Chains A and B, each alone.
Chain A
């Protein structure tokens, strides 16, 4: 792009969002070039510059977003939407340069609606801020991912995020009522006024998970819930994981706890021992039940009876309470994997008939093909029909090549191996972190010809292909 054209576009963008909200400063470009994706972190750690946007713009609402997208479409420049950059898949990295559209100025809380039990907010709101808004009125969002403080409403929607209380309250796609979306051509649309309807396919679900490739979500109505009268925890130790899966499945046919987390032996012996203090061998499982007091008491009785059938050792409430208190401690530097280690979370999901098989297959594939890697896992989101594996590989720093290109290669090879093994055994590319640039190449391997549905929607809505290129395999 010539300097002249650059200035033409810069001044048009300034006109759209205000001069102070359109930046070409190096500090802004740098901060929007590194997200939570391991590769971008490794690159920066090695003193290299990641691909950077040319213009960092921050619209305040749908109208300004629309103006930005119209400019981008006219000049055919890429637009990468950035929430808070807390995504792990490189989804917000402007790999082709162009415009980075930061949503965090769209952080207005429009309404805490106690009748309809939702908060209407700008999608640039950090989720913790809408939790605060709910708490101020005595409610809660019940969306408690470890990144509650790190990420935006729009980011969670775009990546189909999930929190620890998902079994009872659902995933982010269960928590949204209505959305306002700016299409790539700048049109501003609203999805159906209510989510459960028979007025055609669900528009919400087309944009949820679309990772900024089909437009920008600018406003959303997110559900709120009454604070539970009682919340109780119970820790258990299973002798093997088969028993744990069977116990979990049986329990879920009877009622829904809020939290269900099963740690494999490797994580029980490391993370759980370190942070929660469980010293025993086995697979630790934490269950939380919550709601109206009398019902919680009854559910506790059912829980204890069901798990006893599978020889689970009842560890009482202490470990579970400690886990709840420390649930985000796991994610701070010093408690969490970090550079110079090479690591990744390959979360996948499947019905109970396949999930354990996937776990063992992935473990074996990673450990045999990459003897330098450790494999640990827990199973954190449970449904009546199946659950997800949050499995991680870790290569310690002394085994990670210093050469950034070699480190890059190792990282990609481990991912290919892990995800392909999951797919081969009935899993999916990802459960709740999304696809981004990290896993785009594997989308076609999961979907096969079904991918043309996504491609068709993309082509129709974004004919110039400006929205977040090379993400989601689109």
Chain B
């Protein structure tokens, strides 16, 4: 395994640092020391020194990171465990050492166009509209449902297109392989389709993230403007195209880590919820949010994902003022929170709140 000079420097800085020990959603759920940025860095630093092999064990640990950026956000230095975890994944691919569960997902991708191996969902309609493309994304198509989102857009009179053969954004490939040629090819293919539109509204923050960040980083040509669904929705309310009534209910935001950290977007969802009711915050909110689930990792560590989601419910229950309804715009958070929801609490997608208040 060959690390870049940059990755080596970051690994060596994190390997003996304990400062973000408390934030890792995986470490907190499993209680395992190896699920911390410093532990991952220590293992990789020994690999970089040829003191240990880049073995299955170390590689599995690299895939136990959700790339949620919790550690980085908490850190004052700028050392970047997400960067070196992604580089280590690329290294595993280049060395032909990918774990079996990753190989299975890649095979699914080749055969079905998504890592879950899901057949095309024939219930998702094709909509031919204007030059706004409503991009559902792999997770929503295979594991979620954006029907209410579509209804809300229609209610606002938005003319938009939704594709039957939507290309894959490359988010999952980037998650699994880092900056591999395969991930870039998927992104390039996607960008070619997207460039036929003026605006791309991403339902899933994960897709918006790769389009806004990784496409640029990997030199993928993308001309269309990328907007997150929450930002778009907040705009519709502000412009008066969606007339919502304040129903007086209290909503607690489960901020998507991708929106809050990678895209630095935290306010649109609050603007939407404030128009529909009141916002009751959890202690760890906005960029300090905690991941509630990752659907890719749910394929190979479902038990841990369940614990991760349960912990976030615990946070909501113990909010300074106990939460009653948790709202999220993250497809993955929603999916995992839904499977672990306590009986006395409610979980809603942001568009469901809007639909309720129309």
Contact = CB atoms under 8 A, between A and B. Distances in A.
Interface of A: 20, 25-28, 30-32, 34, 36, 41, 44-45, 47-49, 58, 82, 84-86, 102, 104-107, 124, 126, 128-129, 132-133, 135-138, 147, 149-151, 328-329, 331-335, 338-339
Contacts of B79: 333-334
Contacts of A20: 303
Given A82-B33, A147-B18, A334 B13 contact: yes
Contacts of A82: 33
B124 interface: no
Given A47-B46, A333-B79, A31 B39 contact: yes
Contacts of B283: 132, 135-136
Given A25-B57, A31-B39, A136-B318, A104 B18 contact: no
B145 interface: no
Interface in B259-295: 283-284
B282 to A, nearest CB: 9
A27 B60 CA distance: 9
Given A31-B33, A31-B34, A333-B14, A150 B19 contact: yes
A332 B22 contact: no
A333 B39 CA distance: 15
Contact of B16 (A41, A135, A328): A41
B32 A28 contact: yes
A84 B57 contact: no
B52 A26 contact: yes
A41 B46 CA distance: 11
9 contacts: A25-B57, A31-B33, A31-B36, A34-B16, A48-B51, A126-B22, A133-B318, A149-B21, A333-B79
A34 B42 contact: yes
B31 A44 contact: no
A149 B19 contact: yes
A329 B76 contact: yes
> Which of B16, B76, B303 counts the most chain A CB atoms within 10 A?
B16
A30 B42 contact: yes
Interface residues of B, number: 44
Nearest to B16: A41
B55 interface: yes
A81 to B, nearest CB: 13
Contacts of B46: 30, 44, 47, 49
Q: Return the 4 tightest CB-CB contacts between A and B, nearest first.
A: A150-B18, A105-B31, A47-B49, A104-B31
Contacts of A86: 18, 21
Interface string B312-331: 00000011100000000000
Contacts of B50: 47
Contact of A136 (B23, B32, B320): B320
B199 interface: no
Nearest to A150: B18
A113 to B, nearest CB: 14
A149 B33 contact: no
B57 A124 contact: no
A27 B31 contact: no
B18 A332 contact: no
B13 A333 contact: yes
Interface in B224-275: none
B61 interface: yes
Contacts of B75: 332
A147 B318 CA distance: 24
A82 B32 CA distance: 11
A136 B39 CA distance: 29
Given A44-B42, A102-B33, A334-B77, A27 B18 contact: no
Interface string B2-21: 00000000000111111111
Of listed B32, B36, B42, B74, residue having the most chain A CB within 10 A: B32
B93 interface: no
Nearest to A127: B22
A85 B42 contact: no
A41 B319 CA distance: 39
Contacts of A150: 18-19, 21-22
A45 B20 CA distance: 21
Nearest to B322: A136
B69 interface: no
Contact of A129 (B17, B18, B22, B43): B22
A28 B283 CA distance: 32
Nearest to B45: A44
A197 B142 CA distance: 63
Nearest to B33: A31
B31 A124 contact: yes
A84 B34 CA distance: 11
Contact of B31 (A49, A107, A149, A331): A107
Given A31-B42, A47-B50, A136-B320, A332 B17 contact: yes
Contacts of A45: 45
B58 interface: yes
Nearest to B303: A20
B158 to A, nearest CB: 40
A44 B49 CA distance: 9
B320 A85 contact: no
A218 B14 CA distance: 29
A58 B77 contact: no
B63 to A, nearest CB: 12
B33 A85 contact: yes
A137 B15 CA distance: 35
Contacts of B23: 149
A26 B318 contact: no
Counting chain A CB atoms within 10 Å of each CB, the highest count among B46, B58, B74 belongs to B46
A30 B52 contact: yes
Contacts of A34: 16, 42
Interface string B51-69: 1100101101100000000
A58 B32 contact: yes
A404 to B, nearest CB: 12
B318 A27 contact: no
Given A26-B58, A332-B77, A334-B77, 4 more contacts: A27-B61, A36-B16, A44-B51, A339-B16
